[in-house]
């Protein structure tokens, strides 16, 4: 079988697509793998915050169209960019082994968050990150930051920001780990649902292709992704909602922690739950219900106005 991979053109997206291509080339059923780089609306509009132009779903629409029009067979995504409700006719056929899910700070003087001077400017396009940063350091300023990883680092180096926050996974994949000043633990900054996970999407009708892609699936990653995305689904969250969700699997147990934050960081609702790993979706729904009971819907509804 020949497989065409639809991917964004950013350096990180291409790294991920090439990584998947390498894994596919190792399978006996695969003859040839080619990349189909595409430009998405999310990549083109860089002067407006994502929540104002439609969220991170803008990064994947063109890739799905390419599959529908038979210009590509699969699409490779960062799972945190995929809406919790996958469009009809598509499925996530595989989730790869998770890289570190945590967030990382890069600062000009290699300072951690608590060491930054009062009034420092931190760049992040994520409301989730912005809220948690401001909760820790309400005396600093957070400004939107768009563009690919290298563009964001260039803006830091040019003096537009004193520090920026990015996903650890992306920095590691691009060989930029040495730039990291601080890696945030979940007690300081809960990551986005499925952050650090590469997902492979295809059309749900292609059973032969799905069977081949299933060989690349990592079960632990599948379980944590299911747990985290189920919380966001029941909260009716988008990829840009100020929500953090992190799940781990310990033997037969699944533990999920989630926060919902006001964008200014003044209020954070935090809850956790644990249960059997076979019940990830149920656990996620129960955790979402706890968050809503404690006022999460009020924060989310206010944020959507």
Alpha helices in the chain (DSSP H): 11-25, 41-44, 50-53, 61-68, 127-136, 149-157, 168-173, 207-213, 219-234, 280-293, 296-304
**Does 73 qualify as catalytic in the annotation?**
no
The torsion of the CA quartet 6, 10, 16, 21, rounded to 10 degrees, works out to 50
pLDDT at position 57, please?
57
Contact 6, 70 (CB under 8 A): no
Class of domain 103-183: alpha beta
pLDDT at position 39, please?
81
Active-site entry in 81, 103, 162, 234:
81
The answer on pLDDT for 135 being more than 60 is: yes
Q: How far apart are CA 262 and CA 268, in angstroms?
A: 7
The answer on pLDDT for 281 being more than 80 is: yes
pLDDT band at 55 (very low <50, low <70, confident <90, very high): very low
pLDDT at position 304, please?
61
Q: How far apart are CA 262 and CA 111, in angstroms?
A: 26
Q: How far apart are CA 288 and CA 139, in angstroms?
A: 31
pLDDT at position 303, please?
67
The answer on pLDDT for 296 being more than 50 is: yes
Give the CATH number of domain 232-304. Answer: 3.30.160.40
pLDDT band at 237 (very low <50, low <70, confident <90, very high): confident
Most confident by average pLDDT, 56-60, 78-82, 163-167: 163-167
Q: Where in the chain is the domain with CATH 3.30.160.40?
A: 232-304
pLDDT band at 239 (very low <50, low <70, confident <90, very high): low
Average pLDDT, the chain: 92
The answer on pLDDT for 50 being more than 50 is: no
Give the CATH number of domain 2-97+198-217. Answer: 3.40.190.10
pLDDT band at 53 (very low <50, low <70, confident <90, very high): very low
Q: Where in the chain is the domain with CATH 3.40.190.10?
A: 2-97+198-217, 103-183
- What percentage of the chain carries pLDDT values higher than 70? 92
Q: How far apart are CA 123 and CA 129, in angstroms?
A: 10
């Amino acid at each position: 079988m020949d497989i065409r991979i639809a991917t964004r053109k950013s350096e990180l997206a291409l790294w991920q697509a090439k990584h998947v291509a390498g894994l596919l080339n190792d399978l006996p059923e695969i003859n040839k793998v080619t990349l189909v780089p595409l430009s998405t609306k999310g990549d083109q509009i860089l002067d407006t915050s994502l929540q104002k132009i439609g969220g991170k779903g803008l990064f994947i629409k063109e890739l799905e169209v390419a599959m529908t029009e038979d210009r590509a067979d699969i699409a490779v995504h960062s799972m945190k960019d995929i809406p919790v409700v996958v469009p009809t006719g598509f499925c996530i056929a595989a989730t790869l082994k998770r890289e570190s899910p945590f967030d990382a700070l890069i600062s000009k003087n290699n300072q951690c968050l608590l060491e930054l001077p009062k009034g420092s400017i931190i760049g992040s396009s994520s409301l989730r990150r912005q809220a948690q940063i401001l909760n820790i350091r309400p005396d600093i300023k957070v400004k939107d930051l768009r563009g690919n990883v290298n563009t964001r680092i260039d803006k830091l180096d040019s003096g537009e920001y004193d520090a920026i926050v990015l996903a650890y996974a992306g920095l590691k994949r691009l060989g930029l780990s040495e730039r990291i000043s601080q890696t945030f633990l979940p007690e300081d900054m809960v990551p986005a649902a499925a952050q650090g996970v590469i997902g492979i999407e295809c059309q749900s009708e292609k059973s032969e292709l799905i069977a081949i892609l299933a060989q690349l699936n990592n079960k632990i990653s599948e379980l944590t992704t299911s747990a985290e995305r189920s919380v966001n689904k029941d909260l009716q969250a988008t990829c840009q909602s100020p929500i953090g969700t992190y799940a781990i699997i310990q033997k037969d147990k699944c533990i999920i922690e989630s926060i919902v934050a006001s964008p200014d960081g003044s209020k954070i609702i935090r809850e956790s739950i644990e249960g059997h790993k076979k019940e990830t979706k149920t656990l996620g729904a129960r955790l979402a219900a706890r968050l809503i009971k404690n006022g999460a819907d009020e924060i989310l509804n206010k944020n959507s106005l």
